[in-house]
Chain A
Amino acid sequence: MAKIIIPTPLRKFTGGKSSFESNGTTVQAVVDNLVAENATLGQQILDNSGNIRSFIRVYVGDEDINELEGSETAVNDSSVISIVPAIAGGVN
């Protein structure tokens, strides 16, 4: 099963779990399975249409899915998916 790493700030929405495994065959399917089991997490990472929010990046291994097939990127049993929030700021 593909493994998805939950970013630390969002683990309170997964009961503290740092990872989740799913037999989904695409990134979207794995994310959908993750959200199905952790509904409040969905509000954090998906927009109202069920798509991954624009400020959330997703990697499969070391590759940004935007450089692959987006949310339809295929995954397999050895895939490690990372959810990555935007980190930025600065002075007023």
Chain B
Amino acid sequence: MTNQLLNITEEASTVMIEDAINAFPNECCGFFYGTESEEERIVTIARPVLNSKEGDQRRRFEISPFDYMKAEQFALQNDLLLLGVYHSHPNHPSVASIHDLAKAMPYFSYVIISVMEGEFNTIQSWRLREDIREFREEEVCWKLANRSQESEFGGSATSSHSSPHRIHQ
């Protein structure tokens, strides 16, 4: 699949961003589901899960194996694809970290939401490259009820289609 656009519905965007704000100053996490074509992935449902990381949740998240198993079951039962994982970066940019890369799985989109001092900042998505262990950024379209639709690349809310970031170990 070569699609490079992650199109997040208003309902799913709202769930992710509100979860990130509510969890501040800790990191939130969850799964998202939807469909995909050659052109894009469409995220229709986002579901928060517990950050099960023991220790400092302001800098780390972890999803329990049980919650992961339930997420796969939810996708199968609802005839949806488990498209990826979202989490927040409190008081940090929405750029994937080496810790994100270390545990990244192929195929998944990794949505990261930056929350600065409790306020939503930016949203970006990253996917593991197939040829080398490196993230490539994918374009994200998202909506919030109180904001106009924004299409961004590079995390800016106003500029579009800047050069994608690369994260590698």
Contacts and interface: CB of A to CB of B under 8 A. Distances in A.
Interface of A: 5, 7-12, 18, 55, 57, 59, 62, 64, 82, 84-92
Interface of B: 27, 29, 53, 59-63, 65-66, 68-69, 72-73, 75-76, 81-82, 85, 87, 89-90, 92, 96-100, 102-108, 110
Contacts of B110: 89
B62 A88 contact: yes
B61 A59 contact: no
Contacts of A92: 92, 97-99
Contact of B92 (A8, A18, A91): A91
8 contacts: A9-B107, A10-B106, A59-B65, A86-B65, A89-B97, A90-B89, A90-B97, A91-B99
Given A8-B72, A84-B68, A89 B60 contact: yes
A86 B27 CA distance: 17
Given A8-B108, A88-B53, A89-B60, A82 B100 contact: no
A8 B81 contact: yes
Contact of B75 (A8, A10, A87, A90): A8
Contacts, number: 90
Tell me the interface secondary structure of chain B in the complex: mixed
B76 A18 contact: yes
Nearest to A66: B65
B60 to A, nearest CB: 4
Contacts of B65: 57, 59, 64, 84, 86
Contact of A84 (B29, B69, B89, B99): B69
Nearest to A91: B92
A87 B59 contact: no
Contacts of A87: 29, 62-63, 68, 85, 103, 105
